[in-house]
Amino acid sequence: MGSVTEPFPISRIAGRYLLFDIDVISYARRTHNTCGVLIGTLPNLSQQNVFLGIPLELMPEEARVLIERGHAYIVDDEETHRKGFLQMSREDRLAYLQYMDELGLEASMESKRKLEERAAKALKGKDLSSSLKQKHAGPAPSEATSNGDEESLFDSSEPGVQPKASQSNLIPHFITPATSYPPLSHPPVDRGLPLPEVPRSYPLFRYMHSKGYFSTPGLRFGCHYTIYPGDPLRFHSHFLATGLDWDEEFDLLDVIGGGRLGTGVKKSYLLGGEDPTADAVTEQSDNGASVEVRPVRTFSIEWAGM
């Protein structure tokens, strides 16, 4: 795994916030409690809904909290690629294409090597099985002739050895890099781009994130977020969370329904909001970044039989 330097870039494409580098994805999840959602599919299986790959799409709340705390910055991918490739010289383009061809040839050679190893292993197992049969039963003349014919179908030289193809006969694999860096250089940090627009539930998300919780979209449970005490791959979620404005009215039946649903799936229903009348407090990040926040108050509701 490669090293990641903060702040790392978040690609903004068509209003969506994406991470393409697997090292950055792993780092953000491990260090900053950021899960996101994998949305990458295979070209010939665009309707697949399992085993999705990169890129990782971040919720606007996830992108914003990373930016506010100085861990990441936004990159306008369309503008960056347009300028970068227009300014790239022809020599640099050819050098990069040659580099990709070399990677493809190495991948092709590795595939060929593994294929030869599997073939040699299969032939070795066949020879061992034949020798065991001959040891116990003894070869009949017709069987010996038959075995000799079968072996000649695989190789007329040394048993279990396949002739190696020359490098010139190999067709390089086509390599599709997941990122554009290289050949482009990472764009400089630009703090002038606007922060991601976030819903009214963002103060609750930011508050739970600051307490070390992991959050994922809660649409399937009818709430804003599903809150986990640790990585969702290791822990069961504890809360179904809904963020509200401080003076927002809500229906009591929604509270009852949320509490019953949460209890039914072994979670608690969490309501929370930011107090706009309270004085803002400056929070300091480990990397020196500071952000002003107001207190958030939360209520946990659990349905219980009396």
Indicate if 267 belongs to the active site.
Answer: yes
- Separation of alpha carbons 38 and 239, rounded Å: 22
For 153-208, what is each residue's pLDDT tens digit?
Answer: 444 444 444 444 455 677 888 887 877 877 877 777 777 788 999 999 999 999 99
Q: What is the pLDDT of residue 203?
A: 95
- Separation of alpha carbons 301 and 259, rounded Å: 6
Task: Name the active-site residue from 209, 224, 238, 267.
Answer: 267
Q: What is the pLDDT of residue 184?
A: 78
Considering 27-36, 69-78, 94-103, 279-288, the range whose residues carry the highest mean pLDDT is 27-36
Average pLDDT estimate for 14-30: 94
Task: Name the active-site residue from 124, 164, 211, 236.
Answer: 236
Percent of the chain with pLDDT over 70: 85
Q: What is the pLDDT of residue 139?
A: 55
For 268-303, what is each residue's pLDDT tens digit?
Answer: 999 999 999 898 888 877 777 788 889 999 998 877
Q: Closest Cα to residue 214, out of 242, 244, 237, 197?
A: 237
Q: In sequence order, what are the residues at sequence separation of 6 or more whose Cβ sits closer than 8 angstroms to the Cβ of residue 227?
A: 208, 213, 214, 215, 237, 238, 239, 240, 241, 270
Question: Coil, strand or helix: which one is 226?
Answer: strand
Specify the range with the lowest mean pLDDT, choosing from 16-25, 129-138, 220-229, 258-267.
Answer: 129-138
pLDDT at residue 71 above 70?
A: yes
Ordered domains of the chain (ranges, CATH)? 1-88+184-197 (3.40.1170.20), 90-169 (no CATH), 199-306 (3.40.1350.10)
Task: Name the active-site residue from 73, 228, 238, 269.
Answer: 228
Q: What is the pLDDT of residue 302?
A: 79
Indicate if 236 belongs to the active site.
Answer: yes
Indicate if 181 belongs to the active site.
Answer: no
Higher pLDDT, 179 or 220: 220
Specify the range with the lowest mean pLDDT, choosing from 9-23, 115-129, 222-236.
Answer: 115-129
